[in-house]
Amino acid sequence: MSIPVELNSLAEVMMQYPFAYLLTTRAGAAPHAVAVTAVMDGGELVVAATGQRTRANALQAPAVSLVWPPSSPQAYSLIIDGLASVTGE
């Protein structure tokens, strides 16, 4: 089941979740998942302080997903698919 979240409500909904998993792919399409904190900044999702593997993956294959797991089995995950851009070091 899917429950849409409007973009103007996204920051508020994200605050209901303590963390997300950032999913990237390695060469050969092997998945890579790391726990992150994401924030909205000017209409963009920003994830700070990622590791070298995550950054390398995002540069090579920018299609990523963020998954905020539910707080209980009866609750819903928040899932966002998008394209990553890597800035800084």
Does 85 reside within a domain? no
User: Phi and psi of 30, rounded to 5°?
Assistant: -70, 130
Does 14 reside within a domain? yes
Q: Where are the beta strands (DSSP E) in 1-89?
A: 20-25, 31-36, 38-41, 44-47, 63-68, 78-83
Task: State the residue range of the domain holding 69.
Answer: 7-80
Reported as a single tens digit per residue, the pLDDT across 35-61 is: 999 999 988 999 998 999 999 999 999
Is 9 in a helix, a strand, or coil? helix
Q: In the prediction, which pLDDT does 13 show? A: 95
Between CA 27 and CA 47 the distance in angstroms is 22
Q: In the prediction, which pLDDT does 43 show? A: 87
Does 89 reside within a domain? no
Global model pTM greater than 0.75: yes
Q: In the prediction, which pLDDT does 49 show? A: 87
The residues that bridge with 36 in the sheet, in sequence order, are 20
Q: Is the pLDDT of residue 2 over 90?
A: no
Q: Is the pLDDT of residue 8 over 80?
A: yes
| Virtual torsion, Cα 31, 37, 7, 9, nearest 10 deg | 140
What's the domain count of the chain? Answer: 1
Does 39 reside within a domain? yes
